[in-house]
């Protein structure tokens, strides 16, 4: 008959500690070992802080096809932080380091664990500074580091020549917007957004010209858009929106 010798609590505890120490790096990377043994200095930035690395690229089909060479808005950009490093010089990882975004146009995204790659659409002409902030978890000290990228958006497809309003008996408002094609390309579709207190206000200020007709909007040409809209409070302005040039 074989007898099993009982294992002491001290030996069992030691076995568990060694096992967890050896297995955790395969699950969570090397941060646990670095933290447990004291770690080293950061792979970049300041000692004990992560290194933020931002990358940005245009993600727009009209730019890709050559129909928008002047980078006219609205224009979508794709941002990523995947080349950023944690405080130990290792790539940042979902569920550990958090990232936050400031796109420079008033739009931001707070710290998240799953926002390493994100999209953002710029609506108006200008030069914007996009900022990425990487933050270590509180257990690693909570240090942060930032990186920036300059984004330049070209002029709008349409110049807003005038905007007029007139009240209606049913409580709605007739809005009339005159636009001019300020690009060097004939436009097959034009659209204008109404902005009330910083938000898009529902309207139907768009037109698609018949394919193959001579009724497109040529460079320098003007067009009048009309729509009935609901009442708003505060200021109202018009903004050039999605337009499609003829190929």
Contact 100, 118 (CB under 8 A): no
- Tens-of-pLDDT digits for all 247 residues of the chain? 444 455 566 555 555 554 544 444 444 444 444 444 334 443 444 458 999 999 999 999 999 999 999 999 999 999 999 999 999 999 998 889 999 999 999 999 999 988 999 999 999 999 999 999 999 999 889 999 999 999 999 999 999 999 999 999 999 999 999 999 999 999 999 999 999 988 999 999 999 998 766 678 999 999 999 999 999 999 999 999 999 999 7
Torsion of CA 82, 65, 129, 85, to 10 degrees: 10
CA triplet 100, 102, 105: central angle to 5 degrees? 160
- Residues 25-58: b if buried by 16+ CB within 10 A, e if exposed: eeeebebebbeeeebeebeebeeebbbbbbebee
Residues written for the chain? 247
Rounded CA separation 135/116 (Å) = 12
| Whole-angstrom distance, CA of residue 114 vs CA of residue 196 | 32
Q: Report the candidate in 163, 189, 167 with the shortest Cα–Cα distance to residue 176.
A: 163
**Domains with residue ranges and CATH for the chain:** 41-153 (2.60.40.10), 158-245 (2.60.40.10)
Q: How far is Cα 158 from Cα 161, in angstroms, rounded to an integer?
A: 9
Q: Is the pTM of this model over 0.85?
A: no
Tell me the Cα Rg of the chain: 28
């Amino acid at each position: 008959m074989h007898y099993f010798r009982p294992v002491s609590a001290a030996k069992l505890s030691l076995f568990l500690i060694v096992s967890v120490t050896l297995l955790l790096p395969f699950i969570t990377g090397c941060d646990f070992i670095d933290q447990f043994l004291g770690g080293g200095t950061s792979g970049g930035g300041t000692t004990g802080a992560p290194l933020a690395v931002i990358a940005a690229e245009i993600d727009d089909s009209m730019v890709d096809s050559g129909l928008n060479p002047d980078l006219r808005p609205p224009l979508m950009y794709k941002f990523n932080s995947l080349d950023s490093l944690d405080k130990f010089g290792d790539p940042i990882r979902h569920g550990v380091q958090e990232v936050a975004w400031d796109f420079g146009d008033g739009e931001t995204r707070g710290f998240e664990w799953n926002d390493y790659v994100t999209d953002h659409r710029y609506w108006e002409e200008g030069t914007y500074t996009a900022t990425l902030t990487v933050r270590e978890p509180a257990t690693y000290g909570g240090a942060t580091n930032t990186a920036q990228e300059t984004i330049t958006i070209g002029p709008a497809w349409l110049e807003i020549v005038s905007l007029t309003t007139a009240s209606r008996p049913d409580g709605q408002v007739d809005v009339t917007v005159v636009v001019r094609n300020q690009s060097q390309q004939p436009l097959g579709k034009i659209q204008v957004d109404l902005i009330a207190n910083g938000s898009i206000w529902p309207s139907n200020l768009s037109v698609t010209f018949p394919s193959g007709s001579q009724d497109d909007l040529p460079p320098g040409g003007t067009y009048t858009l009309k729509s009935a809209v609901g009442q708003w409070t505060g200021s109202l302005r018009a903004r050039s929106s999605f337009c499609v040039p003829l190929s």
